[in-house]
């Protein structure tokens, strides 16, 4: 039998076998499963994209409502207390304490036990309710500060927020640099003392000129109180 005559028949059988393989139910099911998985992946990706867009919109809205560099208004201080910004920009004091600033001229005293400092000029020294006195001696530069029970020195670099604890400690255990009178007070000097009513106080000399000194004072209810 001629081999060339049988070739078409063999090719036809091979084509039928290949077609049968492609048409197999098992392969068709696999293709369907892969198509379903691809569709699920597409849906999942679309959901993630929508969630990302939502987060971007929320972030943009949050940035739009808060302008950088614009400070939010601070609440007003309680009646009888001055705003911290009117004296110093930093530092915290217990709620029971008060803080205020004033100018103390030469030969003047101040009563700081009230809601504000009461300054009286042309005084000869501490009298009655006076809590601090700025004395001028025979010479123009001969100046001294006086307090009823003297002063407790602190370092010039003491942060304002540490004044309360430092003064309370110094009143209980006076440091070596405690003194009855303060000679030649200067700008930047800081000290603790007790007022005529027994209140603990902390003072910072913020300025000085020929006429007197500028003081920022913090006062607490009583000596060593918490």
Mean pLDDT of 22-38: 67
* 175 and 156 Cβ atoms separated by less than 8 Å: no
Q: Is the pTM of this model over 0.75?
A: no
CA dist., res. 109 & res. 134, Å (int): 6
> By CB neighbour count within 10 A (0-12 exposed, 13-18 middle, 19+ buried), where does 62 fall?
exposed
CA dist., res. 192 & res. 131, Å (int): 12
> By CB neighbour count within 10 A (0-12 exposed, 13-18 middle, 19+ buried), where does 16 fall?
exposed
pLDDT digits (tens, 9 = 90+) for 64-86: 444 433 334 334 444 434 333 33
Question: Domain boundaries in the chain?
Answer: 3-65, 91-219
pLDDT digits (tens, 9 = 90+) for 162-173: 999 999 999 998
CA dist., res. 117 & res. 120, Å (int): 10
pLDDT digits (tens, 9 = 90+) for 83-115: 333 333 334 555 457 888 999 999 999 999 988
Look at residue 141 in the predicted model and tell me its pLDDT. Answer: 66
Quote the distance between the C-alpha of residue 222 and its chain's center. 28
By C-alpha distance, which of 140, 144, 114 is closest to 132? 144
């Amino acid at each position: 039998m001629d081999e060339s005559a049988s070739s078409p028949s063999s090719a036809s059988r091979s084509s039928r076998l290949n077609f049968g393989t492609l048409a197999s139910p098992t392969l068709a099911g696999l293709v369907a499963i892969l198509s379903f998985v691809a569709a699920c992946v597409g849906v999942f990706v679309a959901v993630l994209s929508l969630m990302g867009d939502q987060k971007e919109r929320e972030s943009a809205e949050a940035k739009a409502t808060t302008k950088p560099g614009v400070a939010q208004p601070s609440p007003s201080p309680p009646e009888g207390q001055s705003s911290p910004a009117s004296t110093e920009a930093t530092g915290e004091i217990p709620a029971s304490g008060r803080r205020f600033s004033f100018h103390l001229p030469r030969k003047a005293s101040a009563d700081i036990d009230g809601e504000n400092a009461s300054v009286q000029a042309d005084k000869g020294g501490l009298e009655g309710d006076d809590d601090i006195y700025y004395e001028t001696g025979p010479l123009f530069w001969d100046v001294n500060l006086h307090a009823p029970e003297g002063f407790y020195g602190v370092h010039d670099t003491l942060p304002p927020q540490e004044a309360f604890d430092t003064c309370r400690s110094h009143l209980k255990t006076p440091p070596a640099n405690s003194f009855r009178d303060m000679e030649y007070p200067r700008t930047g000097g800081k000290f603790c003392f007790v007022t005529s009513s027994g209140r603990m106080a902390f003072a910072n000399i913020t300025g000085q000129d020929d006429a007197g000194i500028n003081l920022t004072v913090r006062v607490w209810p009583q000596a060593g109180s918490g």
